[in-house]
Structure 1
Amino acid sequence: MNVVINLLFFLLPILSSFWIAQTFNPLSSYQPLHAIDGAALYKKELPNGNEAYLQVIDLRKIHIDQIIGKVDNMGINEGKYYQGESKYYSPFFKRHLFSEVAEEYKKLYSNNVFSIINCSFFEQYESSTQLSFPIKLNGVVISGGNSPYGPIKQPKDKYYSNIRLKALVWDNKQAYITDYNQVSGVPLNQNRVKNAIVTYRYSDHPAKILAQNQANKYQVIGTLDKDGVKGDELLLIMTVNKATLDEAADLLRKLGVKGDIITVDGGRSTYLFNSQNGNIIVPQLSNPQENPAFRNLPHYLGFRKTIKNQVAPKILIGQLTAKVLPKKDQPYLILWRDNFDSDVSIKLYDGNKLIQNISSRTASDGVYEWIPRISVEEGYFIRISSWKDRNIFGDLQL
């Protein structure tokens, strides 16, 4: 009898899940557009001819790349949201046209690419901009944020004096959304956290609080458990063409998301690219006379298969129109993109002359924080080379 009882206790959760799956499928109202092993894109028709696009990302099979513009100015001591106000840097990142970002991403990863979206908020509309809130890229916190609409001493609106910012953290197994502590930097200051973005809970977005929850283009994100084991392996991204933030978040709730839901940059900046369907939603100009640079964005997320790339190894480094010299004894971010797993070396040259071996060997993860101990002169360049094959390299002209 005990054997039978134990067997029933074992089978009951499985049978219950099977019965629920047979009686209710939350995706039944969504049209599948593209699916690969580890990721799927769906479309849902909303009232009044509006649309929603759902991406389901399995982090055990899909890799997320943070695609960042080049550093135009380090913004030393201008950070507002990492380990204390005005105690960290908040760089100006060059904004890149969405179509150029997509082409570069496909050049690096070819058929492994699944999708691209825009990510971090920004509030400066020049060729380079600071990001609104902190992000961590492959183990390095690269911005302390600079938004006036957050919990700082003198926010632009008193509502934001005491809000709690949220951090989305992910790795190759799971993702989670948690409270962000701007004084301590938790969780971004933790060594085990390699990639994270800080942003608003959807209900704290200025469009909801200050603009009466207007219908617009938004991207909201939640996490979901798939296998019943502790930890959310699925990242759910909902991109709405014209809906309120409440309506967008409610779509995720109906799919089973129970924890916090966050929002990333939206409105006219909203961008959704899929490798099979092309540009689905692109950044829009409000009128024909508006500066087309609005379609240039500083921070994207790219989603691709984690399998080995079949494309020839490459190192890509974007160039700035103005020369930006690293300053002696101050941090400087070296950013690049490559498509291989082996390490790289980073060296400073003046023509053919080696000036400094910045790092003889470091991970090919696209980011290196360098503090020069010498004066760097105009005309020098930084070369990033594959540690295995020095013929694979990229140069950043200073």
Structure 2
Amino acid sequence: MKVVFHLFLFLLPILSSFWIAQTSNSLSSYQPLQSIDGAALYKKELTNGNEAYLQVINVGKMHIDQIIGEVDNMGLNEGKYYKGEGKYYSPFFKQKLFSEVTDEYKKLYGNNVFSMINCSFFEQYQSSSQLSFPIKLNGVVITGGTSPYGPIKEPKDKYYSNIRLKTLVWDNKQAYITDYNRVSGSPLNQNEVKNAIVTYQYSDHPAKVLAQNQVNKYQVIGTLDKDGVKGNELLLIITVKQATLDEAADLLRKLGVKGDIITVDGGRSTYLFNSQNGNIIVPKLSNVQENPTFRNLPHYLGFRKKSKNQVAPKISISQPAAKVLPKKDQPYLILWRDNLNGDVSIKLYDGDKLIQNISSRTASDGVYEWIPRISLKEGYSIRISSWNNRNIFGKLQF
């Protein structure tokens, strides 16, 4: 009996890797484009000439990075969706060109990179933008959101007075979608929740509600269980070129998704990159000069293997779009990207002179919430250095 049990344990990972193929006839109509241990990309030709792309991400084997532009302005007391209207900040994040973000991601993680998509809805089509809804990045809530199309006191359309926003939460074991409570901030206010985005249930997106369910490019996301044990290990992302949100969500239903389905930023901003197939869908330039462009975006999701990185250690920081000085006694978000295995130190300099040790040692997770207790001057800089090797650093110049 023990032999049979151990054989089952040995075969379980092998059997689970074929989970979708064995349990869903729908996947047989998808063309495989790339498959690695932990992720797969498929393409499906739809009857109306549209194309749909499916990504299957196993969160136990893949790392999900939130990539966000540096802060221009903290937007103090402008947040509308985290713990009460006007009680949290809603920063302006630098809009970053999709090709630059992808190039940097590949330089940091090399062959471990699998794919990248655009993510959060944003508010302004300028050099920097506020985001529509709250985000938690590696343990820090970095924005309270500012969208007028949500459950606030005076939304732009009465439909949005009482809608339930949804939260996508993930860690290294599972991903799930649940209701968002803008009064308590749940689930973002929970210590165990490290990464999460708040967004629309697909059926509440303005394109469906206010624009008569128009055909467009969309990204919809659902979660799925693969092994029968409580908890959804699979993140399923469908990207469509020309379809309604209903049609996009229906593709996930046919693959077995039974829970909530959300949508993230789409339309002209839609972006899908894959390491083997390159840029599959790119944000478009406007044909009309006075209209905004959509190639610069504030928030992306990157997917990469968790295996050891073969790229040289590096810390990347971009300058904000505008000249910004953090203010005394007010919060400021220090954001960076790195591929380090160890911690970092964060220090404030005036030229080569050390002014303040902001943090002698903190996690190399790309975010640090800082409240300066001194007045900063132009010419000061923040240096983020590898704790193990101070010669590896990135610098943010004020």
Shorter-chain TM-score range? over 0.9
Does the aligned pair in 1 maintain the 2:127–2:321 contact within 8 Å? no
Output one character per residue of 1:293-328: Cα deviation in whole Å (capped at 9) or x when no partner.
421000000000011100000000001243200000
* Distance change in 2, residues 1:245/1:333 (3 Å): same
Deviation at 1:224, TM superposition (A): 0.1
Does the aligned pair in 1 maintain the 2:286–2:294 contact within 8 Å? no
Amino acid at match of 2:249: A
Aligned residue in 1 for 2:206: 206
Aligned residue in 1 for 2:114: 114
CA distance in 2, matches of 1:84, 1:286: 36
Amino acid at match of 1:35: S
CA distance in 1, matches of 2:173, 2:310: 23
Q: Structure 1 stretch 297-306 or stretch 278-287: which is displaced more?
A: 278-287
CA distance in 2, matches of 1:320, 1:166: 30
* Distance change in 2, residues 1:321/1:259 (3 Å): closer
Q: Secondary structure at the match of 2:104?
A: helix
Q: Is 1:294 matched with 2:294?
A: yes
Aligned residue in 2 for 1:391: 391
Does the aligned pair in 2 maintain the 1:117–1:273 contact within 8 Å? yes
Q: Is 1:36 matched with 2:9?
A: no
Aligned residue in 2 for 1:55: 55
Does the aligned pair in 1 maintain the 2:20–2:27 contact within 8 Å? no
CA distance in 2, matches of 1:87, 1:38: 40
Q: What does 1:77-88 correspond to in 2, within 5 Å?
A: 77-88=77-88
Q: Structure 1 stretch 320-329 or stretch 136-145: which is displaced more?
A: 320-329
Structure 1 gaps of 5+ residues are none
Amino acid at match of 1:181: N
Runs of 4+ in 1 over 2 A off after TM superposition: 17-26, 288-294
Q: Secondary structure at the match of 1:49?
A: coil
Deviation at 1:19, TM superposition (A): 12
Aligned residue in 2 for 1:104: 104
Q: Secondary structure at the match of 1:107?
A: helix
Q: Is 1:76 matched with 2:76?
A: yes
* Distance change in 2, residues 1:21/1:376 (3 Å): closer
Aligned residue in 2 for 1:343: 343
CA distance in 2, matches of 1:108, 1:357: 26
Q: CA RMSD in A?
A: 1.9
Aligned residue in 2 for 1:145: 145
Q: What does 1:204-353 correspond to in 2, within 5 Å?
A: 204-287=204-287, 289=289, 293-353=293-353
Deviation at 1:22, TM superposition (A): 5.8
CA distance in 2, matches of 1:23, 1:113: 28
CA distance in 2, matches of 1:57, 1:170: 11
Q: Secondary structure at the match of 1:333?
A: strand
Please give the TM-score of this superposition, normalised by the length of structure 2: 0.94
Aligned residue in 2 for 1:188: 188
Output one character per residue of 1:148-202: Cα deviation in whole Å (capped at 9) or x when no partner.
0000000000000000000000001100000000000000000000000000000
CA distance in 1, matches of 2:343, 2:208: 45
Amino acid at match of 2:81: Y
Q: Secondary structure at the match of 2:28?
A: coil
Percent sequence identity is: 85
Does the aligned pair in 2 maintain the 1:127–1:293 contact within 8 Å? no
Does the aligned pair in 1 maintain the 2:134–2:142 contact within 8 Å? yes
Output one character per residue of 1:187-242: Cα deviation in whole Å (capped at 9) or x when no partner.
00000000000000000000000000011000000000001100000000000000
Does the aligned pair in 1 maintain the 2:216–2:243 contact within 8 Å? yes
CA distance in 2, matches of 1:60, 1:265: 25
Q: Secondary structure at the match of 1:26?
A: helix
* Distance change in 2, residues 1:184/1:310 (3 Å): same
Aligned residue in 1 for 2:154: 154
Amino acid at match of 2:259: G
Q: Structure 1 stretch 277-286 or stretch 173-182: which is displaced more?
A: 277-286
Deviation at 1:292, TM superposition (A): 6.8
Does the aligned pair in 1 maintain the 2:95–2:127 contact within 8 Å? yes
Number of residue pairs matched by the alignment:
386
Output one character per residue of 1:253-287: Cα deviation in whole Å (capped at 9) or x when no partner.
00000000000000000000000000000111241
Deviation at 1:340, TM superposition (A): 1.4
Does the aligned pair in 1 maintain the 2:82–2:184 contact within 8 Å? yes
CA distance in 1, matches of 2:142, 2:20: 44
Please give the TM-score of this superposition, normalised by the length of structure 1: 0.94
Amino acid at match of 1:294: F
Aligned residue in 2 for 1:362: 362
CA distance in 1, matches of 2:220, 2:102: 21
Q: Secondary structure at the match of 1:167?
A: strand
